[in-house]
Amino acid sequence: MKNIKVIAFDADDTLFINETYFAETEEKFCCLMSDYLSNQGISKELFRIEIENLKLYGYGIKGYILSMIEAAMSISNNTLPVEIIEKIIQYGKELLEKPIVLLEGVEETLSALHGKFKLVVATKGDLLDQRRKLHNSGLGIYFHHIEVMSDKQEIDYSDLIKRLEIQPEEFFMIGNSLKSDVLPVLAIGGHAVHIPFHTTWAHEKIDHKVEHENFRTYEKIIDVLGRLQV
Ligand SMILES: [Mg+2]
């Protein structure tokens, strides 16, 4: 661990609350469409369309809004009133203006690591939205810069490490998603820590255990200080 030079933090549900807001919005969307289908059916159709659209829109709220509109059209067999589209757009804008709520121990952790390592944010999502959240979080002072990645596959992390001019074993990633923040980083030879959040988007779930010498799971983000001997 003494070789670590760069510590990268996932943003959503690692630094601040995110999935909770998406879950709330999905609930409102199901309510809005309840004349057409059961909640379960609506959620299933929305998820199907979201995943199909990822390759075109990428991750983030703007793509999510378009997917809600597309799902509403499909669920209503293209008979939905324009008021429903209006509502969906309003839900999306509300989602873009949600308050930034830092998770427990984040500020203490960053402040303890600041100056000892190069700290970066490595996140998916919309560039403008992620920048807004980081700015409003007040955490910007701790970070060297923010990387808004189009995806978090092995190739994306390899590119990031190359740009940072470090070796994979000098890279340490902290995040709430085993699929996006842990597995690809371990695969290229980096270190990773998983801090689970109580709600995980279905797309980020994996169904097997992760065991690796470069990997740990902690309940709280502050626990990484022990791992990094700070
Ligand atoms: Mg996350």
Rg (CA), the chain: 19
Q: Where are the alpha helices (H) located in 18-166, listed in sequence order?
A: 19-32, 39-57, 61-75, 82-96, 106-113, 127-137, 154-163
Taking a C-beta distance cutoff of 8 angstroms, is the pair 8, 173 a contact?
yes
| pLDDT at res. 201 | 85
| pLDDT at res. 123 | 97
CA distance 111 to 114: 5
CA distance 103 to 220: 9
Written as tens digits, the pLDDT of the chain (230 aa) is 789 999 999 999 999 999 999 999 999 999 999 999 999 999 999 999 999 999 999 999 999 999 999 999 999 999 999 999 999 999 999 999 999 999 999 999 999 999 999 999 999 999 999 999 999 999 999 999 999 998 999 999 999 999 999 999 999 999 999 999 999 999 999 999 999 998 888 888 888 899 999 999 999 999 999 999 89
AA letter at 44? K
Question: For the chain, which residues make up each domain, given as ranges?
Answer: 6-16+101-227, 19-96
CATH topology of domain 6-16+101-227: Rossmann fold (3.40.50)
- Centre of ligand 1 to C-alpha 137, Å, is 15
- Centre of ligand 1 to C-alpha 78, Å, is 34
| pLDDT at res. 2 | 82
Please, which residues have CB less than 5 A from ligand 1, an ion?
10, 12-13, 176
**Domain 19-96: assigned CATH number:** 1.10.150.240
- Centre of ligand 1 to C-alpha 126, Å, is 13
- 17 forms bridges with which residues in the sheet? none
pTM equals 0.93
| pLDDT at res. 190 | 98
- Centre of ligand 1 to C-alpha 79, Å, is 36
**Edge-to-edge strand order for the sheet containing 118-123?**
145-148, 118-123, 6-9, 171-175, 191-194, 215-217
Scored b (16 or more CB within 10 A) or e, 157-191 reads bbebbeebebebbbbbbbbbbbbbbbbbbbeeebb
Q: Is 172 in a helix, a strand, or coil?
A: strand
HSE-CB at 13 with a 13 A cutoff on CA atoms is 24
